Amino acid sequence: MYVTFIKISDLEKHYASAMALRGVNLEIAAQEWVSIVGASGSGKSTLLNIVGGLDVPSKGCVRMNGTDLCGLSEDALARFRRQNIGYIFQQSHLVPYLSATENVMLAQYFHSLPDEKEAEEALVRVGLGHRLHHRPSQLSGGEQQRVCIARALINSPKLLLADEPTGNLDRENTRVVLELLKKIHEAEHFTIILVTHDPFVADWASRLVKMEDGRVVSDTRNR
Ligand code: ADP
Ligand code: MG
């Protein structure tokens, strides 16, 4: 059964020097895995940031799970983000002086309560049981992104947003990260929106949305 989870309507984002989004309409179902592809500058990150409540549109709106994000105050939006959305970026944004476990616990702290055992289990699940007490600088790029997956998913978000999550990784580490995401996605059924310019990465999704110059120019099932 198709259940609309996110509805993006007539979304525009204007900057003094650029029109980043020129009227984007998209509906995304619960549990879907959508790749957003397109050339650099086509508006992918702008779209993702607005859907994630990290940026506001100039026009149009985003409804998620029945909530109109544009209608929320700044505080309510921050609360909504914490309760519903996990993020992974190209840069890991891990805190350098905290261990892998502590980095995950920090996300628990901002959500509700830190729980060391639960944080460790999340790291075991991404294959980092032997790296619990390592700091980010003692981890490889691929391992750091796996900590980020654990951190993004620790509070069981309904939506995972990923912007070029494997952009700094080689092919082998990219595959490891995507296989992990696939395994966890199959078990936990959250929705994934993943921005990438890499066709190998895009292909893991069940749907491909292509952007060009601030617009959606194609939207196809993948498999
Ligand atoms: P992509 O992620 O597809 O590379 P972006 O969403 O980052 O594209 O950018 C889309 C367009 O909006 C680009 O022309 C970019 O230069 C412009 N843009 C993005 N963010 C800003 C900003 N904060 N100020 C001005 N222009 C911006
Ligand atoms: Mg981008």
Query: Could you report the per-residue pLDDT of 95-152, keeping only the tens digit for each?
Result: 999 999 999 999 999 999 999 999 999 999 999 999 999 999 999 999 999 999 999 9
Tell me what pLDDT residue 2 has. 74
- Among 19, 37, 42, 46, residue to substitute to test ligand 1 (most atoms within 8 Å of Cβ): 46
> Residues with beta carbon < 5 A to ion ligand 2?
45
Percent of the chain with pLDDT over 70: 100
CA of 131 to the centre of ligand 1 (A): 36
Residue 150 in domain = no
| Banded model confidence at residue 65, pLDDT cuts 50, 70, 90 | very high
| Banded model confidence at residue 221, pLDDT cuts 50, 70, 90 | very high
Report pLDDT digits (tens) over 7-44: 999 999 999 999 999 999 999 999 999 999 999 999 99
Q: Does the beta carbon of 18 sit less than 6 angstroms from any atom of ligand 1?
A: yes
pLDDT reading at 215 higher than 80: yes
Residue 188 in domain = yes
Residue 52 in domain = yes
For residue 23, give the CATH number of its domain. Answer: 3.40.50.300
Residue 25 in domain = yes
pLDDT reading at 214 higher than 80: yes
| Banded model confidence at residue 169, pLDDT cuts 50, 70, 90 | very high
For residue 186, the one-letter residue type is E
Tell me what pLDDT residue 103 has. 98
Please give the number of the atom of ligand 1 that sits closest to the Cα of 49. Answer: 6
Q: Does the beta carbon of 43 sit less than 6 angstroms from any atom of ligand 1?
A: yes
| Banded model confidence at residue 182, pLDDT cuts 50, 70, 90 | very high
Residue 171 in domain = yes
Residue 34 in domain = yes
Per the structure, the complete domain to which residue 43 belongs is given by 4-92+159-221
User: How is the chain classified by DSSP, letter by letter?
Assistant: ---EEEEEEEEEEE-SS-EEEEEEEEEEETT-EEEEE--TTSSHHHHHHHHTTSS--SEEEEEETTEEGGGS-HHHHHHHHHHHEEEE-SS----TTS-HHHHHHHHHHHHS---HHHHHHHHHHTT-TT-TT--GGGS-HHHHHHHHHHHHHTT--SEEEEESTTTTS-HHHHHHHHHHHHHHHHHH--EEEEE-S-HHHHTTSSEEEEEETTEEEEEEE--
Give me the number of domains the chain comprises. Answer: 1
Tell me what pLDDT residue 20 has. 98
Is residue 37 a contact partner of residue 200, using CB atoms and an 8 Å limit? no
Tell me what pLDDT residue 223 has. 76
| Banded model confidence at residue 3, pLDDT cuts 50, 70, 90 | confident
